[in-house]
Structure 1
Amino acid sequence: MQLSLALAASIAACVAPISALPMQVLKSYDNKPYPQEALDQYNVLRFLGTASPYVQQPGHGIQRDTPHGCSVSQVSLIARHGERYLTANKGKKTANAISRLQNITEELDGPVAFLTTYDFEGLDQDWYDKETWKGPYAGLGEMYKFGQLFRYQYDHLVGDDGNVTFYTASQERVVVSAQKFAEGFLGYTADNSSFFIIDEDDASLGGNSLTPVTGCANYDDTTNEDLIATLSDAYLNQTTARLNDGTPGINLTTSEVAGLFDYCGFDLNVGGKSDICEIFTNDELIARAYYNDIDYYYTKGPGYNLSSAIGSVYVNAMIEIMKDGDRNLTLNFAHDTDIFFIVTLLGLYDSDMPLDHQNFDSLWKVSNINPMGSRLILEKLTCEGDQEGDFVRIVHNDAVLPMSEISSGPGFSAPLDDFEDYVNKRLNGTTFAEACGLKNNTADSISFYWD
């Protein structure tokens, strides 16, 4: 009997509630050298598409440090503008979609009753198209900090005279983003003489532009709209029904709910927090994210036949710059659209995107590819030792992304010659001029870097 009692006491001690354990034991248990949680998979920023505040690309676990025996001898950047308000066009559509809610006078009770009095700050027409400037996701602040970080990473590439040119598309938010980046990068020496602005609305520029889609007469983002329309919108109907059941009398429509989905990211950009985002379940956010992924895949990604040809304008210019070796820094600022075309040509996110079911393994996730402030960097690595030569390494949204077919270089980089061959192979003889139907006297490539 005594043995049984002792055994029972030992077992009881082993199964004591965790709250009964000494605090120092708990702290020791939690102090792990490597975390076991994967909490970022639930981050709402992963589901907000191009409206999301900047969020890093998850990547493949490859270190950002320059590979041993190599140095970065050249770097090019093309960045999207920072976090912003809605565009005038999108703002008007969203405002129209939810305007009825603001006119409800009946007192409602339920989880989304607050919508009738909610301050939709992001729909202030005076700020449409402009960068945000306050809160944790302020676009102007993010671009300034990005400039500081970029200078820290590539300070050795700045010449002794300190002169740096910032090439930017002409939209105000892009120019302002470039200016804030420059202030972070150059500090007190930043001035307006450092900017080269290219008119993004001038179709006559053809390929001599950071926004060559403007000069592509054959581009039509409605080409695949019938295909996209076959994607089930059951999630939208189910979400609408759930919200209406929880708040009787609000009578939300699917159009209003779609508008609220789209507004969530901008609410964060403007105010730093969002009650709108909180009304959706994780499942609903994931379903909406796939809808956005499909839309961009078939209008600006691998699912659209002109995407790679349009992206070739920028990529071919960067190849020429890397082969010349005369330019240390090439800093460019444009739009999400332009980056979509470029990463499509590079094959960084090639995936099947079925319309009859969701591909959870797809690499083509818009929030990871083109959040606000998206940044695509091409590094030219000059290496010595066993792998002597010049290599290309791609860093997208702070993650090193190898091109699987040509990743034999240090740090899974690509030999420069192989990189050029790879790009040509993916183009398969297609040119920007041919694909877009350029007139004979229209530029088919970038020359402003050398003009």
Structure 2
Amino acid sequence: MLLSQPILSLLALSIASVDALPIQQFSLKPFSQEALDQYNVLRFLGTASPYVANPGYGIERDALAQCKVSQANMIARHGERYPSKKKGEKMIKNLASIRNNTEQVEGPLAFLKDYEFRALDAAGFEKETSSGPYAGLLEMYKLGSLFRDHYYELYEDGEDIKFYAASSKRVVESAHKFAEGFLGQNYNKTFVKVIDEDDEKLGANSLTPVTSCKNYNKKLHKDTIKSLSESYLDQIAERLNNESPGINLTADAVESLMYYCGYDLNVVGSKEICDIFTTTDFLSYSYGKDVEYYYEKGPGNNMSSIIGSVYINAVIELLKDDTKNLTLSFAHDSDIFYIISNLGIFDDGDLSVKHIDFNHLWKVSNIAPMGARLIIERLECEGSDGDYVRIVLNDAVIPIPGHSDGPGFSISVKEFEDYISEKLDGHTYAKDCGIESGIPTNLTFFWDN
């Protein structure tokens, strides 16, 4: 059907009017409609991930107007690092076929034959990184500066302060860098107090009480963990081998490449290895890490919460101590996992090993990436009879499920103490860990030193 001249004229005028509109203004939306963080690879790298903030629930980080933070107790993981000696040597073994490949390789993975795996330099194993966009030492320095700025009311120059560190070299270095950032020109290396993490005689008076817990069995659920299918590794290997003939990847090599992705970011800041894989690949990989840590060091192990109670019981005493307003501690991811297990903030039941549970809360990258930090705040609020407790994990406020009726979804100090006591249900570190007579059964160094 032919359009009449009046209609054609009107249509032409309409098109001209649309062309004249400032179309670019439609892109200036006040709020993004995208959810790009679901594709952030840092969410899938487990404990090897550079620091990434917890996604949280949208609760404001600052205390409510009628409240002030009167105490902050932080325990942090060391900053970004090279792989451990054990894990590094395993990656070297699994990737040897790639690094020594003499065949002609074609396709997108041809670069691997000549790739410089800088994070596998044995001289760097166990050490914290000092260069690159995710430099661990720099991140800890920045954290110290930002922490001082956020909690400026809790410390004045010249006041007595200590930074407690487990004795691993990278943990001690992290504590020193944090202290430098926190204190600036007033920093003195004597402010860092090192606690031997391998001394079993310290018992509970340690940042690493697992050392003295004879009844803790990391491999208690090894059969459960192993029952989780790793067929996805074979599928990835087959796909990549088809895309790049001659590369001849094994399932073990695929797993090591996925693990190496995090360390390539920590050491170099390169994402070339990460880009080999899709987020679908990483979903399966990350769920395997979640399952592993859940049953080894998380709520799935019967001793995790008990070990974590050592630090939490000390914090409960701190919350009731008006002479203390700041404690700063540095340890390992394992120690944070035990503490989180005791808090129960990500315990929504056992993780399935039959299929991926996409809605589970226990997500390792959100809990203990490199540089993870757990802060337990005491709040004083106008019009309230008592104080409140708020948990901040990796820059996100995390309420205790079923116990968040206080200001800003906090919990009263009394209710928090009762909650932890009920959760332990009569279990104690001394009894359940089999602590010998004469060995400390409580953490007291916050008051001793």
Q: In structure 2, how many angstroms separate the alpha carbons of the residues matched to 1:262 and 1:120?
A: 12
Aligned residues: 444
Shift of 1:284: 0.3
Residue aligned with 1:449, SS: helix
> Which residue matches 2:358?
360
Instruction: Verify: 1:224 aligned to 2:214, yes or no.
Output: no
After superposition, the C-alpha distances for 1:350-393 in whole angstroms (9 at most, x for unaligned) are 123111111111111111111000000000001112x3420000
> Which residue matches 1:447?
444
Contact kept, 8 Å, 1:382 with 1:388, in 2: the verdict is no
Structure 1's unaligned 5+ residue stretches are: none
Contact kept, 8 Å, 1:74 with 1:322, in 2: the verdict is yes
Pick closer, same or farther for the CA change 1:399–1:100 going to 2, 3 Å. same
Q: In structure 1, how many angstroms separate the alpha carbons of the residues matched to 2:219 and 2:14?
A: 68
Q: In structure 2, how many angstroms separate the alpha carbons of the residues matched to 1:78 and 1:230?
A: 34
Instruction: Verify: 1:92 aligned to 2:89, yes or no.
Output: yes
1:233 to 220, 230, 233: 230
Query: 1:53-132 alignment to 2 at 5 Å?
Result: 53-132=50-129
Q: In structure 2, how many angstroms separate the alpha carbons of the residues matched to 1:273 and 1:160?
A: 40
2:246 to 246, 249, 268: 249
Query: 1:128-277 alignment to 2 at 5 Å?
Result: 128-159=125-156, 161-277=158-274
Shift of 1:163: 2.6
Q: In structure 1, how many angstroms separate the alpha carbons of the residues matched to 2:104 and 2:391?
A: 55
Instruction: Verify: 1:382 aligned to 2:385, yes or no.
Output: no
Structure 2's unaligned 5+ residue stretches are: none
Instruction: Verify: 1:321 aligned to 2:318, yes or no.
Output: yes
Residue aligned with 1:395, SS: strand
After superposition, the C-alpha distances for 1:70-128 in whole angstroms (9 at most, x for unaligned) are 11111100000000001111111111111121111222111112111110000111111
After superposition, the C-alpha distances for 1:190-220 in whole angstroms (9 at most, x for unaligned) are 1111011100011121111001111111112
Query: 1:267-346 alignment to 2 at 5 Å?
Result: 267-346=264-343
Q: In structure 1, how many angstroms separate the alpha carbons of the residues matched to 2:121 and 2:346?
A: 35
Give the TM-score normalised by structure 2.
0.96
Q: In structure 2, how many angstroms separate the alpha carbons of the residues matched to 1:2 and 1:111?
A: 57
- Paired letter, 1:396: L
Shift of 1:160: 5.2
Instruction: Verify: 1:4 aligned to 2:13, yes or no.
Output: no
After superposition, the C-alpha distances for 1:142-200 in whole angstroms (9 at most, x for unaligned) are 00000000000111111452331000000000000010000000001111110111000
Residue aligned with 1:318, SS: helix
> Which residue matches 1:403?
400
- Paired letter, 2:373: R
Instruction: Verify: 1:421 aligned to 2:418, yes or no.
Output: yes
Contact kept, 8 Å, 1:207 with 1:313, in 2: the verdict is yes
Residue aligned with 2:98, SS: helix
Residue aligned with 1:173, SS: helix
Contact kept, 8 Å, 2:104 with 2:246, in 1: the verdict is no
Give the TM-score normalised by structure 1.
0.96
Q: In structure 1, how many angstroms separate the alpha carbons of the residues matched to 2:169 and 2:39?
A: 34
- Paired letter, 1:204: K
- Paired letter, 2:220: T
Residue aligned with 2:185, SS: helix
Shift of 1:265: 0.1
Shift of 1:13: 6.2
1:45 to 42, 45, 64: 42
Between the aligned residues of both structures, percent identity stands at: 52
Residue aligned with 1:174, SS: helix
Residue aligned with 1:63, SS: coil
Residue aligned with 2:379, SS: strand
- Paired letter, 1:154: Y
Shift of 1:409: 0.8
Q: In structure 2, how many angstroms separate the alpha carbons of the residues matched to 1:240 and 1:323?
A: 56
Q: CA RMSD in A?
A: 1.5
Shift of 1:12: 5.3
- Paired letter, 1:338: D
Residue aligned with 2:265, SS: helix
Residue aligned with 1:421, SS: helix
Q: In structure 2, how many angstroms separate the alpha carbons of the residues matched to 1:168 and 1:45?
A: 26
